[in-house]
Structure 1
């Protein structure tokens, strides 16, 4: 539910709820030293593409921002 703050994952951090589609939020890398296993890491913020779709929003921006500030303060 809380997800990972670095990855922007989890129900409470899902920006789609406020009507934002985020592309390239994470990226998959392979590591030949680990036997070509794929691992996921946060994507570069400069490479992200955000598309605003207000018709997809199911909560207000104020509510989303309030939840994010609670998560940042570590109150959960």
Structure 2
């Protein structure tokens, strides 16, 4: 579990590293963060679609899934 103190320490460590990083490294970090943000947005969209599909079509009870799997 990450508490507020750990988050603060992590942020400070990142800032210290960024202060000495090259421009190329900073560009790569920014690109990585943008990719991550984009992937997160895509995950949220897909999750919402799946929830809507479950509402419309319905779901299979866990007991049925286990029965079909022979568990």
TM-score, length-scaled by structure 1: 0.29
Query: Is the radius of gyration larger for structure 1 or structure 2?
Result: 2
Whichever structure has more helix as a proportion of its residues is 2
TM-score, length-scaled by structure 2: 0.30
Question: Comparing both chains, which one has the higher relative contact order based on Cα–Cα distances under 8 Å and sequence gaps of 6 or more?
Answer: 1
Whichever structure has more strand as a proportion of its residues is 1
